Amino acid sequence: MHGVDSSLNKSAFNKKAMRATCRSAGFTLVEAMVVVAIIGIVMASSVPNITRYFENGRGRAAAKSIADALNVARAQAIRTGSNHVVFFSVISAGIPAGDVGGTALTDVSGNPVPIFVLNDGAPGSANQNCLIDAVEERITFPAQNGVGWGANVPPAAIPAPDDDAVIVIPADGSSFRAPDGTPNMTWVQFRPDGVPVGIDAACNAGRLGSGGGTIYLQTANRDFAITLSPLGGVRVHLWDAVTGGWTI
Tens of pLDDT, residues 91-141:
988 899 999 999 999 999 999 999 999 999 999 998 999 999 999 999 999
Query: Does the residue 188 lie in any domain?
Result: yes
Query: Does the residue 91 lie in any domain?
Result: yes
Dist. CA 198–CA 189, nearest whole Å: 6
CATH of the domain at 216: 3.55.40.10
Q: Which of 62, 59, 58, 87 is nearest to 73 (CA)?
A: 87
Structure confidence by residue, pLDDT tens digits, 188-220: 999 999 999 999 999 999 999 999 999 999 999
Q: How many CB atoms lie within 10 A of CB 143?
A: 16
Query: Does the residue 43 lie in any domain?
Result: no
Please give the share of the chain, as a percent, with pLDDT higher than 70: 84
Tell me the pTM.
0.82
On whether the CB atoms of residues 72 and 65 are closer than 8 A, the answer is no
Structure confidence by residue, pLDDT tens digits, 11-38: 554 555 555 554 544 557 777 777 776 7
Q: Which residues pair with 225 in a beta bridge?
A: 216, 237
Task: Please confirm whether the linkage preceding 230 is cis (ω < 30° from 0).
Answer: no
Structure confidence by residue, pLDDT tens digits, 127-184: 999 999 999 999 999 999 999 999 999 999 999 999 999 999 999 999 999 999 999 9
pLDDT band at 4 (very low <50, low <70, confident <90, very high): very low
- Domain residues for the domain of 222 are 62-246
Query: Does the residue 2 lie in any domain?
Result: no
Query: Does the residue 46 lie in any domain?
Result: no
Q: What is the mean pLDDT of residues 77-92?
A: 97
| 49, pLDDT greater than 80 | no
What pLDDT shows up at residue 180? 96
The per-residue pLDDT of the chain, averaged, comes to 89
Please give the share of the chain, as a percent, with pLDDT higher than 90: 75
Query: Does the residue 35 lie in any domain?
Result: no
Query: Does the residue 39 lie in any domain?
Result: no
Domain total for the chain?
1
Query: Does the residue 38 lie in any domain?
Result: no
Q: Which helix (H) or strand (E) holds 141?
A: strand 138-141
